[in-house]
Amino acid sequence: MHFALINNNRVEAQPQLKGLCSCCSKPVIAKCGTRKIWHWAHKNKTECDNWWEPETEWHRTWKNNYPAEWQEISLLNERTSEKHIADVQTSHNLVIEFQHSHIEHQERTSRERFYKNMVWVVDGTRLKRDFPRFLKGKKNCFENTIFYATDNPKIFKVDLIDWCFPTAWLESSVPVIFDFRGDGTMDDPEGLRNTLYCLFPQIGRYARVVEISRTAFINTTTNGEWALRVQEFINHYREQDKIEQQKQQQTISHTSNKVTYTWRGIPLIGGSREYKRRLWTPNKSNRKGRR
């Protein structure tokens, strides 16, 4: 942890210091070695917050984009007495969780349920293949497959989302920001690592990915505009999907024999039956074996 309590003040780790954990109130000692960043650790291996992961430089840098008094906030669910430390909670009650390690589906869902108003920031450099895989998907935007261009150059409709992002994040109920910059030392000839990529909760056929600058993300989460903008964006694409679906249904109900049924511009063998099958088959079964 970055902070511990000494005489009720939040203090950073310094050699020889002892303090109390702000979550469980048990003693913590300052770890000030050369290998890991200076931090506080529990004296006994107690089960404090089982969601807590050892911090990296990446975590610390991200957290420090926000005021110290918003970092490491203990939150309690009064009904269940469950207590967890949020990486950042803004003054508008938005929780920002920075995730480097792999996370299991169940834990991700529990955290989303616990924090509710939250956004994930994921270290997209944990596995070597994460960035190349994303780039491959994104570059398909020129041919308008996988990443489909929209009328806004920073917004994409994405098909086959599991070709672009780690599966652990695909079904998240809250926005997930992918940060591919890592510690800033990685190859980036096209300057694509500096931008953040926000994956929105998937509603309907396509996922939505939006490019957002670091400054814009930090500013809107700090000034409280983030939640409103997210809601507006989701409402907007929900509306668009509805219109599109209605258009597709009109095509199906057109019963003339002359109608050629196409799928992504390619005429379908099997006509309307095949078209309906594809339309109503959930995305996942279409993807089997194509990863």
Name the segment binding Zn ion (CB under 5 A); options: 7-15, 19-27, 91-99, 248-256.
Answer: 19-27
Least Cβ distance, residue 26 to Zn ion (angstroms): 5
21 binds Zn ion (CB under 5 A): yes
Three-state DSSP string of 221-269: HHHCHHHHHHHHHHHHHHHHHHHHHHHHHHHHHCCCCCCCCEECCEECC
Within a 10 A sphere around the Cβ of 55, how many other Cβ atoms?
18
Q: What contacts 241, CB < 8 A, 6 or more positions away? A: 203, 204, 205, 206
Interface residue with Zn ion among 4, 13, 23, 88 (CB under 5 A) is 23
Interface residue with Zn ion among 17, 24, 192, 212 (CB under 5 A) is 24
Least Cβ distance, residue 71 to Zn ion (angstroms): 15
**Footprint of Zn ion on residues 48-87 (CB under 5 A)?**
48
29 binds Zn ion (CB under 5 A): no
Query: Residue-wise over 145-164: b if at least 16 C-beta within 10 A, else e?
Result: ebbbeeeeeebbbbbbbbbb
Least Cβ distance, residue 21 to Zn ion (angstroms): 3
Q: DSSP letter for 200, please.
A: P
Name the segment binding Zn ion (CB under 5 A); options: 40-48, 148-156, 164-172, 217-225.
Answer: 40-48
Say if strands 95-99 and 118-123 run parallel, antiparallel, or are unpaired: parallel
Q: Which is nearer to Zn ion, 59 or 208 (CB)?
A: 59
Interface size with Zn ion, residues (CB under 5 A): 4
**Could you list the residues that contact Zn ion (CB under 5 A)?**
21, 23-24, 48
